[in-house]
Amino acid sequence: MAMMPKRVKWRKSQRGKIRGVAQRGNKVAFGEYGLQVLSGGWITARQIEAGRVAATHFLRREGRVYVRIFPHKPVSAKPLETRMGKGKAEPAYWVACVREGAVIYEIGGVEEEIARGALMRVANKMPYRCRFVKRRHGL
């Protein structure tokens, strides 16, 4: 099931701007290998779920997949053939805001080649260019 918050304070949010680069969440922290986005923007809950499913299928239940982002932001969309105006539309889907450098998926417990294959499949499902990264041990 696509991710979305269980409880929210406000149903609708403004679009906002994504400024700067990832100052945190930019390191592989849970698994051994990760997928890092090379540009910032929105990633929808469906895209996140598609990536998770692709990685899980590729790994055939081996290893562990970590999803490092969560779609906190509701996006409104007006229905088709509706006139403009009459207030803000109802929330249609949820997105995660990511900045350049954010590690969005991680994989642990498998060999590098398998992790690379899985994360490359995930990268194909992402709306931005991504790169494969390894955990930095020590310095």
Positions that interact with other proteins (CB under 8 A): 1-2, 4-9, 11, 21-23, 26-27, 32, 36, 44-46, 49, 53, 56-57, 61-64, 90-94, 100-101, 108-109, 133, 135-139
What does the angle CA 90 – CA 46 – CA 84 come to, to the nearest 5 degrees? 25
Q: How far is the CB of 21 from other proteins (least distance, A)?
A: 4
DSSP-based three-state secondary structure for 107:
strand
Contact 67, 104 (CB under 8 A): yes
Residue 3: φ, ψ to 5°: -80, 145
Residue placing its CB nearer to other proteins in the complex, 124 or 131: 131
Residue placing its CB nearer to other proteins in the complex, 92 or 127: 92
User: Residue 133's beta-bridge partner residues?
Assistant: 34
Residue placing its CB nearer to other proteins in the complex, 26 or 42: 26
Q: How far is the CB of 7 from other proteins (least distance, A)?
A: 5
End-to-end CA distance of the chain: 39
Residue placing its CB nearer to other proteins in the complex, 9 or 15: 9
